[in-house]
Amino acid sequence: MEYTKGAHSVYSMTYHVVLVTKYRRPVMTEEMRAAAKERVAYLLKLYDGRVIEMKGEPDHLHILFSVPPAKAPAVVIATLKTQLSKFFKAEYPEQVKRYLWKDAFWSSSYFVSTTGGASIETLEAYIRDQGTEHTKRKYVWSGKYAKKRKRPIHPPTD
């Protein structure tokens, strides 16, 4: 698992999104999907995010991406849908008109799932075990942080 360091956070926020064309029409050619990958990478940079993986078929796209915790996934996904729709209609008008006859390019719904390195069962056990001895912090304050602390780094031993 890869972590990203922000100004005030360290995070790993990754999402798997599936966008489906309206009526599941096979609109997107291989060329369109390749152009979409470049466009998505550009759009995600605007949100300080990045594409991890992206692939699709004529009727849908799978996008695995990461964005900072301050960015709402629903807003990012809405932007991707809107901007890709405008892009496809501008760059490939004949291909789009061949399969779609109204304004919508994408289905109104989409699939999104968060991803992570730990299973639900592992997280449940971790949360359930909070407060027990083996979940205590396993590091000590050091460096510049230790100097700012008023109390000793290590508690006195009896």
Non-local (6+) Cβ contacts of 44 within 8 A are 50, 51, 65, 67, 76, 80
In Å, what is the CA distance from 95 to each residue of 2, 19, 89, 92? 38, 18, 9, 6
Give Cα 154 to chain centroid, integer Å.
39
pLDDT digits (tens, 9 = 90+) for 110-143: 999 998 776 667 766 776 776 666 545 444 555 5
Q: Which long-range contacts (CB under 8 A, 24 or more apart) does 48-56 make?
A: 49/76, 52/14, 56/28
The structure's pTM equals: 0.76
> For the chain, which domains are there?
4-115 (3.30.70.1290)
The pLDDT tens digits of the residues spanning 78-90 come to 999 999 999 999 9
Segment 31-70, tens digit of pLDDT: 999 999 999 999 999 999 999 999 999 999 999 999 999 9
DSSP conformation class of 133: G
Task: Determine the Cα–Cα distance for residues 57 and 28; give it in Å rounded to an integer.
Answer: 7
